[in-house]
Amino acid sequence: MDALTATNFFFRNQTTFLRGKVRDVYAIRHDHLVVVACDRISAFDHVLPRPIPYKGQVLTQVASLFLDETSDIIPNWKISTPDPQVTIGIRCEAIPVEFVVRGYLAGHAWRIYREGGREVCGVRLPDGLRENDRLPEPIITPATKASSGHDEDISLKEIIDRKILTSKQLDKLTDTSLKLFARGTEIAAKNNLILVDTKYEFGKHDGKLMLIDEVHTPDSSRFFYLDDYEARQRKGEAQRQLSKEFVREWLIANHFQGLKGEVVPDMPNDFVQSITDRYVELYTAMTGHEFVPRSYENVLENMEQAIITELETLNIL
């Protein structure tokens, strides 16, 4: 086994199991989760047919780092990481809105802008911008968190109008999202990176707002290299970026955007390897640490034992 495609554990006091696009989520009793970041990869709301070796490890370890680095801004769900691909944490009631913060015109926002749109989620964008230009200030472009299918853009006003959040809650979460983005930007700059855009998800536990899910990973964020950003923009060259966007671009070039009737193209070995290389590159660049790849030998048995031992230590089982 050279990648972890899925898990099928059953723990004592396990109450539910959910398999997401990337993560396998086990609820223990009522207040705790065991989340396994598998090596599956998704794009355009579809899980692609081949797993990406070490992807789950990169996601888990980068998210763990940034949850620790932002815990002074808002409490988060993480308790511990007993395995390179596992996080044990607090089970929260998820708020069904993703808070997407954008500091640059890239990705989804650029595609809207390129087609003539000048408004994203109720935020007006100035004329005359080019792809990857820095925005006058970071903007928040929320999306509804769909249980299946595509997430949908939504404005801050619509969040209030639909009574998804109160004005006070929305103000708190938009302010927190901008503070998290500022912290991520600061840490990225120390590592010669630009945090271009990212998403934050929040939940409630015992009435308290908490940061949940992953933070500043290549699945949830886009990064450019800082040292040659300005030169590339002046020349109109593509930015060197670390994100999952190049996977989307490859799929688009191979006639797949998740639309009805489209077929996911076969992913050749060299492309799968290139995705692994990008994820490892992001880990190294963002953390300043050498990436130590996990062993996939007996991975399921070793992972299960590590989880059980940690749950017993935490007195959760």
Residue linked to tokens 């100035």: 126
Residues of the chain by 3-state class (helix, strand, coil), percent to 5: 30, 25, 40
Residue 249 neighbours by CB under 8 Å, 6+ apart: none
Are 112 and 208 in the same domain? yes
* Residue 171 domain boundaries: 94-243
Last residue of a domain, one of 188, 217, 243: 243
Instruction: Based on the fold, state whether residues 226 and 144 are members of the same structural domain.
Output: yes
Q: 160 by DSSP, 3-state: which?
A: helix
Reduce the DSSP state of residue 99 to 3 states and report it.
Answer: strand
CATH number of the CATH domain containing 219: 3.30.470.20
Asked if residue 118 and residue 53 are part of one domain, the reply reads no
**Does 255 lie in the same domain as 238?**
no
209 and 274 belong to one structural domain: no
Q: Domain check: are 205 and 138 in the same one?
A: yes
Residue 6 lies in a domain: no
3-state secondary structure of 17: strand
Q: Say whether both 122 and 148 belong to one domain.
A: yes
Same domain for 56 and 187: no
Domain presence at residue 2: no
> Across all residues in the chain, what is the average pLDDT?
94
Q: What is the secondary structure of 260-288 as a DSSP string?
A: TT--PPP--HHHHHHHHHHHHHHHHHHH-
In the chain, the number of structural domains is 2
Same domain, 178 and 102: yes
Task: Note whether residue 182 is domain-resident.
Answer: yes
Q: Does 172 fall in a domain?
A: yes
Write out pLDDT tens, residues 175-191: 999 999 999 999 999 99
What is the rounded distance in angstroms from the CA atom of residue 27 to the CA atom of residue 91? 8
Q: Is the dihedral of CA 184, 189, 192, 196 positive or negative?
A: positive
pLDDT tens, residue by residue, 90-124: 999 999 999 999 999 998 999 999 999 999 999 99
Angle at 313 between CA 310 and CA 314, to 5 degrees: 85
**Which of 194, 218, 243 is the last residue in one of the domains?**
243
pLDDT, tens only, 135-156 = 999 999 999 976 555 578 999 9
Place of tokens 């396994």: 36
